[in-house]
Structure 1
């Protein structure tokens, strides 16, 4: 049985490795459209951009792993179409047959329209190794950078720029940074930290356009202000790479729609990672995280081999900014109450409740709160909010 995997990111690499680990002895072909071997994305906007990590430390596996495990790794070869009837994909102009096909195509950053300056030189996104390589030379002390978007990617880039001595301005059109993903308490904590490092955070501030002849030289805001810039980083979210699946007639619903096993609307095609949406608590969800990419891909690998085990997502995320390690467990959708718990020193955690149900935890430099919160959420336990807000040892809650 030949398994073809389209997309050589975290999910694709994990799926291929898990197939072999589970004893699959047939062919595995892993197709990547980038020239680099499968690599970690999180360090790109942090350690790699700072110059603290070399490219070869980004690789998910040692170069010899793929050959030793008989995984055919084809790089720089985008797949252009899927023929479901013939069970082939077109790559490099030739048809490649599959018995099972896994789509781990990931996601792409949203870009500013060319009509408002998005195509000017000096305007960057942060998603691939090539993206970061293209902008690294811009990070020189004293230069002015405008970051459009106050989400995690933009804020991580802002932290790197501030640490390297740049003049940094973050533009967020929503009333607060991180509004889509975090409570006001977390937003405020992160905003205060950035401002303490000299970053100008402009919330409820919309961009009208970028200006410049061929290269960007500034940003014009909706209120008429003009901010000078030597370069601009755009961090306004990502979209799932579902175009290939959609062209093949697969069901699309906020990404490539799968069932609880990871199977698409075609019984011989599967999907995992950023590109895939799946059933969740009576609805459908798509998770953008390394943890989900690995766990879902490994679940799909097992199901390709016949495990027939529903994927049980355990959402968790993290972000590193300056000396802050923000760790997030669970999903905060629908929360109606935030409980604040002070940790040791400057550590603090914010606990999301809906009624009496614990939904999620944001832990700032508080790994104990994160670990305990994650365990509580995964086991369905919801301590009373007043207990969380107290000063007792959190670990005792796991024994209750």
Structure 2
């Protein structure tokens, strides 16, 4: 491509400058370039005037986990599925990919899955940088007044964890993840094709188990040259328990109890059940806060009381008066515990007894009288 004067979209600044110098020399020698090379040269010369490739150099963070960057990239990642959205989380200090999650669209669930990977593997970071999507920040009146801001679900989860969430629409505010999106767009579609991946479930499993360790080993760095010697990048992650991850990464909403002592969610009715399995009847119009966890389970809280939500079916699945009687499913018996070999009734001891019994019977004529039929 370089010999033909073709500009690659993934080429580095050094290659662009070298190509521009070569095309200028060719223009001086030949006095005229073909159409394709002339267009490439004009594009390269226009970059110096427009400043397309000009990005200010910034220092990296000092500690691992001090600043995380999150973003989502819409692209044709898997052939045949159309455009999907890859949610990406990268560390600024080390360049490690800390989380990848592929979904059909950019959603809160996708960013929650990133947080689940980060919290479960590394811990609680110090700060997160994102763009100004409504998933992260929402101005009710379109103004930048903090007093009029409404805290989103993701921002509330970050505040519960003690993570500083900073949002800005400028791509230079989070350059690491913006550059990582370009690298991933050049790698992942071909790797998905080579691995025979055709569904989102297969893609997410491959990303977490195989691709992220490979990417971090290839592009990440756990050590840095500081103060005249190589040092390991220290971490500021704080350990987070699995129970805390499960309860904090939830979607919260408020519901009112109807006259049937139930609440409605997604056009379905749910009954409130306490820890003993007994259904609870709350007053009409009582307000409860419903939490939907990442695994899909639903819980409701009211006045420091927690209830599980049990779905109420729309109609009975069986009529005892019309439908024929159905045999009740038999309860599966618990498997019997395996008897140890040292027990006198074990299979091993029984086989030993049979062998010794056969031996004693074969030796019986040697030490017994003809009138005795049993040995001592």
Tell me if both proteins adopt one fold, taking TM over 0.5 as the criterion. no
Normalized per residue, which structure has more helix?
2
Larger Rg: 2
The structure with more strand, counted as a fraction of residues: 1
TM range (shorter): under 0.3
TM-score by length of 2: 0.24
